[in-house]
Amino acid sequence: MVEAKKAASDTQLSLTVNGQARGIAVEPGTTLLEALRDGLGLPGTKKGCDRGECGACTVHTDDRRTLSCMALAAVQEGKRITTIEGLEQEGNLHPLQAAFIEHDGLQCGFCTSGQIMSGVAVIEEVKAGWPSAATTDLTGPFTIADLSKAEIRERMSGNLCRCGCYPNIVDAVTDAAGRR
């Protein structure tokens, strides 16, 4: 539990963050990004554009991608939040984290946590059979075998990399999709 000085206008929240019950008091305008970084001490989620355009702040809320700079913390009550810090399990990297290292999917590293969180969501969305704007055949089921590089690029298009590591990021997602 985070013990912070609570103002009269603060809202007390109960969240499950990376599998742990957490409590935090937030002001009404506090974003989920601010609550995670400043309130709960989880610096892996990055503040890039602060306008929902770059994807550096991507986290999962109830297993769905969320741009945490655009989500108010106060409306996350009772939700399950996963950040980059919550992907590794028992000292083992998530397959996409390992693939990013193997495929050199990062350079400066600023966008990496958001890229990885989106990539994990892409793989889960494909497993659930969700098509994308790049899906050519919407009449049949969409499977992991249909996950082409064009599909990955489309599905990851909300995450920007200033260093231009896109080919390596796509290769890492392709590799991790095969590992899961």
Q: Which homologous superfamily is 11-86 in? A: Beta-grasp domain (3.10.20.30)
Of 2-11, 56-65, 75-84, 120-129, the one with minimum mean pLDDT is 2-11
Report the candidate in 13, 15, 40, 14 with the shortest Cα–Cα distance to residue 27: 13
- Contact in structure between 45 and 71 (CB atoms under 8 Å): no
The reported pTM is 0.92
Give start-end residues of each CATH 1.10.150.120 domain in the chain. 95-179
pLDDT tens-digit readout, 71-126: 999 999 999 999 999 999 999 999 999 999 999 999 999 999 999 999 999 999 99
CATH level 3 topology of 95-179:
DNA polymerase; domain 1 (1.10.150)
DSSP state of 145: G
Give start-end residues of each CATH 3.10.20.30 domain in the chain. 11-86
